[in-house]
A and B are shown apart, each in its own frame.
Chain A
Amino acid sequence: KQEVTQIPAALSVPEGENLVLNCSFTDSAIYNLQWFRQDPGKGLTSLLLIQSSQREQTSGRLNASLDKSSGRSTLYIAASQPGDSATYLCAVRPGSSASKIIFGSGTRLSIRP
C-alpha cells in the first residue's frame, strides 16, 4: 500500500532564504507526483506535476525533483517571501491506480519577514 510522508511537518525560515521540502513514498511504481499549496481553510493549488519519466520540473522560483527509484521528491523554493507561507502537500498517483492520488500530510511553511 502506497504511503506518502513529508518531513518536516513544520518549517520556519527568514525571508530571502532558499529552502527544501521533502517528500518520500514507499512504492516507486508511480505515474506521476504533484506538489500543491494549501492556504488555511482554502483549496489546493497545483504547483508542479512531475511525470514518472521526468527528473525535475521548474516554475518560477519553484523547482521540484523526482528520484523514483529511491522514492523521493523535493520541492526547492528560491528566495522565499512571506507570501510563500502556506502548507505544501505532495501527492503521488500510484501505478496500481489510474484514478486517485495519495497525499502526504504536508509541511507547514512560515516565512518570517
Chain B
Amino acid sequence: EPEVTQTPSHQVTQMGQEVILRCVPISNHLYFYWYRQILGQKVEFLVSFYNNEISEKSEIFDDQFSVERPDGSNFTLKIRSTKLEDSAMYFCASTVSYNEQFFGPGTRLTVL
C-alpha cells in the first residue's frame, strides 16, 4: 500500500542552524501539507501546497519557513534559523483532493 515517507526520523541541530526536512508524498497525490506537534500539544497546521505554490499557511509559518517541491517527488520544509521553540514532531501529509489526508511517520526535530 502506498505511503508517505519522511527523512530523517530524528534531527538534532543547534539553535540558529538551518534544517531541511524531507518528505515523499504518495505518487498520485496533488496536495501536500506540513503539520507539527509540540510535545504534549495538538497537531497544528503549518502550510499547504498545490500546483507548485503555497495555497494556505498558518501564523506559525513565518519568514523562517519555506517549502519546495524540487523534483516532482520530494516535498521539503526548510527552517532557516532554528529556535528552541521549533523543537517538535513535523508531519508531512498528502491527499488526492479535498479528501482523506495521509500522514507520514514524522521527523522529530530537536533544537539545542
Checking B45, B50, B100, B108 against A100 with a beta-carbon cut-off of 8 angstroms, the contacting residue is B45
**Closest chain B residue, CB of each to CB of A43:** B105
- For the complex, is B56 an interface residue (Cβ under 8 Å from A)? yes
Whether B105 and A99, one on each chain, are in contact in the complex, defined by CB atoms closer than 8 angstroms, is no
28 CB contacts below 8 A, A to B, read A31-B98, A32-B99, A41-B108, A42-B106, A43-B91, A43-B103, A43-B105, A44-B43, A44-B91, A45-B103, A46-B100, A46-B103, A49-B99, A49-B100, A98-B55, A98-B56, A98-B98, A99-B31, A99-B45, A99-B48, A99-B56, A100-B45, A100-B48, A100-B58, A101-B45, A101-B101, A104-B42, A106-B42
Whether B99 and A44, one on each chain, are in contact in the complex, defined by CB atoms closer than 8 angstroms, is no
- For the complex, is A105 an interface residue (Cβ under 8 Å from B)? yes
User: How many A-B Cβ pairs are below 8 Å?
Assistant: 53
- For the complex, is B102 an interface residue (Cβ under 8 Å from A)? yes
Cα-based distance from A34 to B106 in the complex (angstroms): 19
Cα-based distance from A1 to B102 in the complex (angstroms): 24
B99 proximity list for chain A (CB < 8 A) = 32, 49
- For the complex, is A88 an interface residue (Cβ under 8 Å from B)? no
CB contact under 8 A between A34 and B98, given known A97-B56, A99-B55: no
A42 proximity list for chain B (CB < 8 A) = 105-106
Whether A102 and B45, one on each chain, are in contact in the complex, defined by CB atoms closer than 8 angstroms, is yes
**Closest chain B residue, CB of each to CB of A45:** B103
- For the complex, is A68 an interface residue (Cβ under 8 Å from B)? no
B56 proximity list for chain A (CB < 8 A) = 97-100
Cα-based distance from A89 to B35 in the complex (angstroms): 14
Cα-based distance from A42 to B103 in the complex (angstroms): 11
- For the complex, is B25 an interface residue (Cβ under 8 Å from A)? no
- For the complex, is B33 an interface residue (Cβ under 8 Å from A)? yes
Whether B55 and A105, one on each chain, are in contact in the complex, defined by CB atoms closer than 8 angstroms, is no
Cα-based distance from A91 to B101 in the complex (angstroms): 10
B48 proximity list for chain A (CB < 8 A) = 99-100
A93 proximity list for chain B (CB < 8 A) = 98
- Chain A contacts with B in 56-113, Cβ cutoff 8 A: 89, 91, 93, 97-106
B104 proximity list for chain A (CB < 8 A) = 43
